[in-house]
Chains A and B, each alone.
Chain A
Amino acid sequence: MAAVTFVVSLGIGSRATSPLAVWQALFGRGDAAVAALVSARLARAVLAAVVGVCAGMSGVLLQGLTRNPIADPGLLGMTAGGSMVVVIVMQVLGLATPTVIAVSSFVGVSLAAVVVAVIGLRVPRRRQALTMLLVGAAVMACANSIISALLVTNAQSLDLLRHWQVGSVSGVGLARLPGVLPFLLVGLALAMSSGRSLDALSLGEDTAHSLGHSVVRQRVMILGAAVLLTASATALAGPIAAVGLVAPHLVRRIVGVSHTPLLIGSAIAGATIVIVADTLGRVVAPPSEVAVGIMTAVIGAPVLLALARKAVSA
């Protein structure tokens, strides 16, 4: 599925390219212009896939960790925290190398995650979900006002950063990938090893404990994985909304509630969603493009509404 959308996305854009031409370009034959086009699209598709994998998996991790169906790195304020620190570093220090962006994104995401987790864990169980969501919204509002404060005073950085701030995989290329890679790989490894602890946690803290799981350590590990993945996605493409929310819910219908297949499935679904959203964004309003962050937000809104309706039906 992801592979198919990946290949199809190479052919679609404001200038349509036939599958044959794509095929030829991929293997170094055919028209040079088409080849350039396809290689640009290839970079975008790779980026979109990576971002989607990160978002989908961190959605599963956070939903499992908080035992709350409406959790997502965006809603919990984590991407906003990452963006904030990236914007501060880019503007105040004037640095924008891939490594700097990756590190500052990681710092910001961790900061937001710690704030939300610390406050969320102080309240009684049945109020936790809503409290975390509201704290996330508060962190988001806070981060956004700091970002705006910086941008409003400086037209140049506004021009530079508004393109990044929207969540986009275009014009980025693969240059940022190496700086992010260490975070990404550690995050993926942690995430893939946490399937069993997520299953145990979903039975409740006490049961998990009596099954011999060290609850606190596992929670820290899961949160760490989510932070690393979110930081990677944010550093690569800026804040991309709602993928982490939508992907796990789609996949849960197919593979059930066991977390290891859920993690793999959500990674694939996340990649598919981001590639499709990016491809759609290229063609909905030609000749300009709609950034992938907007497309996913639009796709995510109805899912969120449906979830909100279902989650609190009592």
Chain B
Amino acid sequence: MSRVVQEVESEDALIATLRSGRAARRRRVAIIVAALAVLLAGIVLARLTVLRPLISISDLIAVLSGRYVEGAGFVVWESSLPRATLGLIAGAALGASGGAMQSLLANPLASPDILGITSGASAAAVTALVLGGWNGPALAAAAFAGALAVVALMIAVGGRGTAAPTRMILVGVGMGMVFGALIHGILQRANIWQAREAMVWLVGSLARATWTDIGWVGLIVAITLPALVITGEQLRVLSLGPDVAQSLGVRVRRQRGIIVALVVVLVASVTSVCGPIAFVPLLAGPIARRLHGGRTNLVTAALVGACLVIASDHLASQAIANTALPAGVVTGLLGGPALLWFVVRSTKVQGVA
């Protein structure tokens, strides 16, 4: 009798400990997300005001509320605001999809940019632009088809079993190389103006964005990103391995399929407008994971991605007077060394892959 009571009591105590632990973790997540959101708001504000010449906050409010302000109005509506908006959308989409793929394939380097998904989208977009003269939604559809082709190959060759992620990575890396060659080949055939325009799809830039583009990309991302975050909840279970996840009641193949499909939609729609902004998917995931002590959190990854893209775009456009660099140059230059440092560190701990 007394033993049973004791057991019940200790079980209660256990549950209480678990509950308080979980609540503490939830608080920590909430604090991190809130802090990142504040940081993001600060970066957006800086993007809109710290320009040449500076735009005062009162001018900015006046412009945004629809009043005419000499000088500032044009800059805000035609340049800084669309770029900040697109940066927000693109960064969030790329960051979250990077985090999702890395977690799904259980490899910190397995992000859509390293795996050739963005190269597939870029190659198709460049082909459609240079050879077909397409633009707008048709171009986006081409980019989507390109990304889908890479993923379909990855899945078809990857097959089933425990080695599937490894095979998918091999295929992805190879496809990245092949599509890279194709992009260069098409650039070579283009005339010089087209080639300059198509360079956007090699580096990634927010400068070409029009409000129409932003509108429909925003719409697609607004639908798919929350869906990815919700399905992403399953990633933690999936990361225990297919067998464990299955026995815990997760439909492994279906969940994997859904997550990959959402990632493809996000990456392709963003790439079709602003090109592959180098390293954002790759960097956002690990940064977010580090903030959460090793756990995958797609909301954080999305916020980190947005911060990265907007800040890089700002730096790129303002750093050198009279020279407008694309955002992808800054993310590429920052991301390269950061990436290698990160690889070295993670190999020291447990070995990448």
Please determine whether A134 and B173 come into contact, CB atoms closer than 8 angstroms.
yes
Please determine whether A166 and B181 come into contact, CB atoms closer than 8 angstroms.
yes
Q: Bound state CA distance, A298 and B344, in angstroms?
A: 33
The listed residue (B170, B331, B352) touching A311 by CB distance below 8 A is B170
- Please give, as numbers and ranges, the residues of chain A lying within 8 Å of B110 by CB-CB distance: 134
Q: Bound state CA distance, A241 and B173, in angstroms?
A: 13
- Please give, as numbers and ranges, the residues of chain A lying within 8 Å of B185 by CB-CB distance: 166, 290-291, 293-294
A-facing residues in B303-353 (Cβ within 8 Å): 323, 325-326, 328-329, 331-333, 335-336, 339-340, 343-344, 347-348, 351-353
Size of the B side of the interface (Cβ < 8 Å), in residues, is 56
B279: interface (CB < 8 Å): yes
Q: How far is the CB of A59 from chain B (nearest CB, A)?
A: 14
Stretch of B59-67, B188-196, B221-229 with 4 or more beta carbons under 8 angstroms from chain A: B188-196
B44: interface (CB < 8 Å): no
B-facing residues in A116-166 (Cβ within 8 Å): 119, 122-124, 127, 130-131, 133-142, 144-146, 148-149, 151-153, 155, 158-159, 162-163, 165-166
B174: interface (CB < 8 Å): yes
Stretch of B3-11, B24-32, B159-167, B264-272 with 4 or more beta carbons under 8 angstroms from chain A: B159-167
Q: How far is the CB of A119 from chain B (nearest CB, A)?
A: 6
Q: How far is the CB of B332 from chain A (nearest CB, A)?
A: 3
Q: How far is the CB of B257 from chain A (nearest CB, A)?
A: 20
Please determine whether B323 and A153 come into contact, CB atoms closer than 8 angstroms.
yes
B153: interface (CB < 8 Å): yes
Q: Bound state CA distance, A149 and B327, in angstroms?
A: 10
Residue of B159, B185, B351 contacting most chain A CB atoms (<10 Å): B185
- Please give, as numbers and ranges, the residues of chain A lying within 8 Å of B347 by CB-CB distance: 119, 122-123, 131
Please determine whether B188 and A166 come into contact, CB atoms closer than 8 angstroms.
yes
Please determine whether A149 and B203 come into contact, CB atoms closer than 8 angstroms.
yes
B128: interface (CB < 8 Å): no
- Please give, as numbers and ranges, the residues of chain B lying within 8 Å of A290 by CB-CB distance: 185
Q: Bound state CA distance, A251 and B112, in angstroms?
A: 34
Q: Bound state CA distance, A140 and B110, in angstroms?
A: 14
The listed residue (A119, A144, A163) touching B180 by CB distance below 8 A is A144
Q: Bound state CA distance, A93 and B203, in angstroms?
A: 23
Please determine whether B174 and A305 come into contact, CB atoms closer than 8 angstroms.
yes
B35: interface (CB < 8 Å): no
- Please give, as numbers and ranges, the residues of chain B lying within 8 Å of A141 by CB-CB distance: 113-114, 278-279, 282, 332, 336, 339
Q: Digit string of B211-229 for contact with A (CB within 8 Å is 1, else 0)?
A: 0000000000000000000
Q: Digit string of B172-185 for contact with A (CB within 8 Å is 1, else 0)?
A: 01111110111011
A241-B353 CB under 8 A given contacts A151-B199, A309-B157: no
The listed residue (B167, B177, B333, B348) touching A149 by CB distance below 8 A is B333
A75-B177 CB under 8 A given contacts A122-B347, A149-B332: yes
B-facing residues in A17-41 (Cβ within 8 Å): none
- Please give, as numbers and ranges, the residues of chain B lying within 8 Å of A148 by CB-CB distance: 199, 202-203, 328-329, 332
A314-B109 CB under 8 A given contacts A137-B176, A148-B329, A166-B181: no
Q: Bound state CA distance, A241 and B114, in angstroms?
A: 17
B171: interface (CB < 8 Å): yes
A301: interface (CB < 8 Å): yes
Please determine whether A127 and B196 come into contact, CB atoms closer than 8 angstroms.
no
Q: Bound state CA distance, A168 and B184, in angstroms?
A: 11
The listed residue (A122, A239, A312) touching B163 by CB distance below 8 A is A312
Q: Digit string of A42-82 for contact with B (CB within 8 Å is 1, else 0)?
A: 00000000000000000000000000001000110000000
The listed residue (A122, A124, A165) touching B344 by CB distance below 8 A is A122
- Please give, as numbers and ranges, the residues of chain A lying within 8 Å of B169 by CB-CB distance: 130, 133-134
Nearest-CB residue, chain B, relative to A115: B340
Q: Bound state CA distance, A290 and B353, in angstroms?
A: 37
A152-B174 CB under 8 A given contacts A122-B344, A166-B188: no
Size of the A side of the interface (Cβ < 8 Å), in residues, is 60
Please determine whether A152 and B203 come into contact, CB atoms closer than 8 angstroms.
yes
B187: interface (CB < 8 Å): yes
Please determine whether A163 and B188 come into contact, CB atoms closer than 8 angstroms.
yes
- Please give, as numbers and ranges, the residues of chain B lying within 8 Å of A312 by CB-CB distance: 163, 166-167, 170
The listed residue (A127, A131, A297, A305) touching B171 by CB distance below 8 A is A305
- Please give, as numbers and ranges, the residues of chain B lying within 8 Å of A115 by CB-CB distance: 340
Please determine whether A301 and B175 come into contact, CB atoms closer than 8 angstroms.
yes
- Please give, as numbers and ranges, the residues of chain A lying within 8 Å of B336 by CB-CB distance: 138, 141-142, 145-146
Please determine whether B325 and A293 come into contact, CB atoms closer than 8 angstroms.
no
Q: Bound state CA distance, A127 and B176, in angstroms?
A: 21
Q: Bound state CA distance, A159 and B174, in angstroms?
A: 27
A179: interface (CB < 8 Å): no
Residue of B159, B174, B178, B340 contacting most chain A CB atoms (<10 Å): B174
Please determine whether B353 and A297 come into contact, CB atoms closer than 8 angstroms.
no
B-facing residues in A154-194 (Cβ within 8 Å): 155, 158-159, 162-163, 165-168
Please determine whether B170 and A146 come into contact, CB atoms closer than 8 angstroms.
no
A152-B182 CB under 8 A given contacts A145-B332, A308-B170: no
Residue of B113, B181, B329, B331 contacting most chain A CB atoms (<10 Å): B181
Q: How far is the CB of B42 from chain A (nearest CB, A)?
A: 26
A210: interface (CB < 8 Å): no
Q: How far is the CB of A129 from chain B (nearest CB, A)?
A: 9
Q: Bound state CA distance, A208 and B332, in angstroms?
A: 41
- Please give, as numbers and ranges, the residues of chain A lying within 8 Å of B352 by CB-CB distance: 123, 127, 130-131, 134
Please determine whether B339 and A241 come into contact, CB atoms closer than 8 angstroms.
no
- Please give, as numbers and ranges, the residues of chain B lying within 8 Å of A146 by CB-CB distance: 332-333, 336
A165-B184 CB under 8 A given contacts A142-B335, A142-B339: yes
Q: Bound state CA distance, A135 and B343, in angstroms?
A: 8
Please determine whether B159 and A145 come into contact, CB atoms closer than 8 angstroms.
no
Please determine whether A293 and B329 come into contact, CB atoms closer than 8 angstroms.
no
Please determine whether A304 and B174 come into contact, CB atoms closer than 8 angstroms.
yes
Please determine whether A140 and B177 come into contact, CB atoms closer than 8 angstroms.
yes
Q: How far is the CB of B337 from chain A (nearest CB, A)?
A: 8
A-B contacts, 14 listed (Cβ < 8 Å) = A70-B170, A123-B353, A138-B336, A141-B114, A142-B332, A145-B328, A148-B199, A152-B202, A152-B325, A166-B188, A239-B181, A290-B185, A297-B182, A308-B157
